[in-house]
A = this chain, B = another copy of it.
Amino acid sequence: MNGSVGIVKTEYAEFDVELQLESGRLLGPVTLAYETYGTLNAERSNAILVTHAWTGDAHAAGRYHEDDRKSGWWDDMIGPGKVLDTERYFVVCSNVIGSCKGSTGPTSINPRTDKPYNLAFPVVMVRDMVRAQKLLVDRLGLPSLLTVIGGSMGAMQALEWGILYPEMVRSIIPIAGTGRTSPMSISLNAVARQAIFNDPMWKKGNYRPEHPPADGLALARAVGHISFLSDASMHLKFGRRFSARDGMFDFFGQFEVERYLEYNGASFVERFDTNAFLYLAKALDLYDAAWNFDGLEDALDHLRCPSLWFAFTSDWLYPPQQTEQVTEILARLGKSVAYHLIDSDYGHDSFLVEPEKFTPFIVAFLDRLG
């Protein structure tokens, strides 16, 4: 029980396509980084797609090598005997387009110029990410998905799967999501964006990878980081502790929470590309399930599968009301929908921090699906 999927390897699927994006622009060829855990059954009926959040990647579970100290981002959820039980399910996770973790994004080589796209990369929507994932699901020979499950931007992808490919998707599990991002969430991204634009190292996206706009990106990350936490979780972790008491009256003295944000921002620069961060922020801002439909109700009416939704009491980035707006419409439309408001102090990040609070509902839900 509760074992690890063990040593894993990221694979890369290449698609010689011109993907038509929501903007009308074309993107191709397309590479998708992905990982799989468990085994596809003979009926090819046990596949689960895991969708990641903003700065996530394909590495959802396991370790890359024996000495790897860090396991995949949802290792608590995926493995033998875990909720997404790899002895029963074939679990797939792929990096979204627009990102910098192996899938085609602004750091990829633009075939028209043989140089990195940078800002020549087209603006993508969450719906475009899902269309790209569909290529992978087809390539893997999966006629259907038992469920599509993810948190935050992953929840948006899960919903888009249900809307775009109702004939393939047997259920969706959106966690800490929203039907459309709010002006508050857009505002926070606007600040993050401007922090990068203000950094002279950004050079309108034409920085060299070894000289990124580190100050701007670290600050942008701090804004995001704050929005993923909650007042309560910060109290638990930092309170009002000063990092050096003597420095309290020092103009540059820092509270511990401040030092933590600075440290986290600086380490984020090591692992994420600035332009990719900006493109994904844009995709989040543009996210609206009703896009190109006659409103949210029309969009949601395309769903044919049962859906299981979770929101967290302390999530102020995508607060529970935003999930409830969607689940109420689904209920009104007579769809099979279950919703659980989970009491947690960990804000938006609760889906990563306290999975044990919602996993029992998922186990039961998947069991009922067969």
Contacts and interface: CB of A to CB of B under 8 A. Distances in A.
A223 B187 CA distance: 9
Nearest to A188: B226
Nearest to A226: B187
Nearest to A287: B240
A244 interface: no
B194 A222 contact: yes
A248 interface: yes
A251 B282 contact: yes
Contacts of A262: 190, 194
Contacts of A251: 119, 123, 278-279, 282
Number of copies: 2
Nearest to A220: B191
Query: How large, as a class, is the contact surface on chain A?
Result: 35 or more
Interface string A268-292: 0000000000110010011010000
A52 interface: no
Interface string A163-184: 0000000000000000011111
A23 interface: yes
B200 A249 contact: no
Interface stretch (A29-37, A148-156, A230-238, A331-339): A230-238
A243 to B, nearest CB: 12
Contacts of A279: 251
A287 to B, nearest CB: 10
Contact of A249 (B123, B199, B249): B123
B222 A258 contact: no
Among A123, A288, A319, which residue has the most Cβ atoms of chain B within 10 A? A123
Contacts of A75: none
B184 A226 contact: yes
Contacts of A180: 240
Contact of A257 (B123, B190, B223, B255): B190
A257 B216 contact: no
A216 to B, nearest CB: 7
Contacts of A238: 183
B187 A234 contact: yes
B188 A288 contact: no
A119 B119 CA distance: 39
A102 to B, nearest CB: 22
Nearest to A237: B183
Given A183-B239, A183-B255, A239-B183, A191 B248 contact: no
Nearest to A255: B186
A122 interface: yes
A187 B258 contact: yes
Interface string A84-112: 00000000000000000000000000000
A225 to B, nearest CB: 8
Contacts of A66: none
A195 interface: yes
A121 to B, nearest CB: 8
Contacts of A123: 249-251
A195 B25 CA distance: 34
B195 A248 contact: no
7 contacts: A180-B240, A183-B255, A188-B226, A190-B258, A190-B262, A194-B219, A248-B286
Given A23-B249, A123-B249, 6 more contacts: A22-B249, A123-B251, A182-B231, A182-B235, A183-B255, A248-B286
